[in-house]
Amino acid sequence: MNLSKIATTLLGAALVFGTAVLAGEVNKGTLNVEEKLNVQGKSLDPGSYKLEWTGAGPSVQVTVTQGKQTVATFPAQVTEQTNKNAANAYGTAPQADGSKELTAIYIGGKHTVLQVGEAAAGNGQSATPSAK
């Protein structure tokens, strides 16, 4: 009987751990920025960034890091597309001062789109493929 309880406990722990690992993979991505962008008042210079988003439901909090430094944190809406994104990409909108505002992040190989700021409310955007 003790062996059965131990086996059940180990199996349960393995399932919980496995689910946590998969959930972690789903909520991470990369962003390769080709031009200077603004996002919620923060500036992103050209370069490679890591993304992580947390939250329940479609509303999430996105953290952008470069190396070990957090560059920006902002709210976004997660939406799912019918087709998988071919590659990591992002959408921008021109601003009155000539700068570009980040409006969407497309996660390569997944159906996931992170809608940023006003884009989350359904405003138009242009998709710009990111650098590899």
The answer to whether residues 70 and 103 touch, using CB atoms and an 8 Å cutoff, is no
pLDDT at 57: 79
Residue 9: count other Cβ atoms within 10 Å of its Cβ.
Answer: 10
Percent of the chain with pLDDT over 70: 69
Instruction: Map out the domains of the chain as residue ranges.
Output: 28-129
Q: How far is residue 73's CA from residue 68's CA, in Å, rounded to a whole number?
A: 14
In tens, the pLDDT along 5-35 reads 655 555 555 554 444 444 444 589 999 999 9
Map tokens 């991505």 to a residue.
29
Q: What is the 3-state secondary structure (H, E, C) of 20-56?
A: HHHHHHHCEEEEEECCCEEECCEEECCEEEEEEEECC
pLDDT at 105: 96
Q: How far is residue 108's CA from residue 10's CA, in Å, rounded to a whole number?
A: 35
pLDDT reading at 132 higher than 50: no
- Dihedral (Cα; 11, 14, 20, 22), 10-degree rounding: -100
Provide the token pair at 81: 């597309």
pTM of the model: 0.71
Comparing 18-22, 36-40, 67-71, 102-106, the range with the smallest average pLDDT is 18-22
In tens, the pLDDT along 79-113 reads 999 999 999 999 999 999 999 999 999 999 999 99
Q: How far is residue 3's CA from residue 23's CA, in Å, rounded to a whole number?
A: 30
